[in-house]
Amino acid sequence: MKTNKAFTKRIKISRNGKLTARKPGQNHFNAKESRSGHMNRRRTQKLVFSKQVSQRYIGTASPSRN
């Protein structure tokens, strides 16, 4: 099955196979948002997927440790 390229460009896979991504809604409409809400979105979030979902969207299961 093909990987979802648009999705894979938005995530980063660490050495241990953990997935991180930016929180959504950062790019616009920030003027009326509170400072705390704006700062909370600056952090990345951890993504947790099952093996089936990661194979579908990323193309591989989490990398094996050697």
Residue 24 corresponds to which tokens in the numbers above? 């959504």
CA gap 39, 47 in Å, rounded = 19
Domain ranges of the chain: 5-57
Tens place of pLDDT for every residue, the chain, 66 residues? 677 788 888 888 888 878 888 888 888 888 888 989 888 888 888 888 788 877 777 776 555 554
Domain at 5-57: CATH code: 4.10.410
β-pair partners for 12: 20
